[in-house]
Structures are given as structure tokens and as C-alpha cells.
Copies of this chain bind each other. A is one copy, B any other.
């Protein structure tokens, strides 16, 4: 079964453009129990193993106040992923799905996002549950879970703008 970087039946790779529109900086490093993509969970779970997120200088002071949030949104760089597939076959069975209809690590910009439970913070290290990435994954960003965060900035016009709702589907 094809599981790493090979192309599977019916998958479609494109000639990916050079990725030069913007640059990112790795602001930390994630430690997890998983050293192979063949073992890494496909999605994190809130009762998963405790993993650590190390924040690099000069960003450590940006952790101020993070301890107030029980859940954080974590963005990380899926550094082993190819970036050129538009149709993928996760089950390796010839059936393909568009990359944007999957949460596969293989994407034009291989950025993973997880919601993690914050256990504790010690200095520049956070202990969290809910990750699904390889040991050594570079960290890109950390922010409060959107459902826990209330904007502190003064209200402005767009905050209260709504649109016609006749096309709106039901939200669960």
C-alpha cells in the first residue's frame, strides 16, 4: 500500500508554482511521541498523549496571558508533505477526493491546525493534548480557541454587519 510520497492510483499532481508569495518563520518546535508518518494519528484527540510545544526567542514574551485559555489553536508546518496534489486517494483504492475536501497533510501550503487542551506552561514550554503531528514539527502560530476568545479592541463597523440570510444553511 502506498503511504508516503508516492502517487497512488488516480491521484493528480500539478506543476506547483514556486512558493514565493510570502515567507514564514518557525517560532517553535513541537515534540510528540510520533516519529513516523505511518504511526501519527490522522486527527488529534483530547485524551491523547501530552505533547510539548517549545517557543523560541524572541517570541517567548508573547506567551503572556496564554495560561488563561483552556484550549488553544495551534498552527504548524507539515514539513514532510509534498505540495502538488490536487486529487488524492487517502484509502489507496483508486477513489480520489479534492485536496480542499480533505484534511490531509498534502496541500499547496502544508499547514496543520489543531485545537489542543492546555495542561500547563513551564517557562517557554507548553504541555498540551490533541496534537496529530510528527515529533519535531515546526510551530507557526498559537492563539486562543476562537470560541473562548472575546475581542478586546473597541467595536468597529464590521462587527455588527450582517447579510441576507435566505441562502444560509442551518448551522449545527
List residues of chain A with CB under 8 Å of any chain B CB.
1, 12, 14-27, 33-34, 38-43, 45-50, 55, 58-66, 68-73, 75, 77, 79, 86-87, 90-92, 96-104, 107-109, 111, 113, 115, 117-120, 127, 129, 132, 138, 140-144, 146, 149, 151-154, 156-159, 161-165, 167-172
Contacts and interface: CB of A to CB of B under 8 A. Distances in A.
A49 to B, nearest CB: 4
A142 to B, nearest CB: 4
Q: Sorted from nearest, which 9 A-B pairs have the closest CB atoms?
A: A64-B98, A65-B101, A41-B158, A49-B163, A62-B99, A42-B151, A19-B23, A90-B152, A14-B58
A42 B97 CA distance: 33
B22 A18 contact: no
Contacts of A117: 168-169, 171
B21 A111 contact: no
Nearest to A95: B152
A119 B167 contact: yes
Given A21-B26, A73-B113, 13 more contacts: A22-B23, A42-B156, A47-B162, A64-B101, A65-B98, A75-B75, A92-B154, A97-B152, A102-B149, A103-B144, A107-B143, A111-B140, A129-B168
A125 to B, nearest CB: 13
B26 A151 contact: no
Given A22-B26, A63-B100, A43 B163 contact: no
A149 B27 contact: no
Nearest to A40: B158
Given A25-B108, A26-B21, A168-B47, A149 B87 contact: no
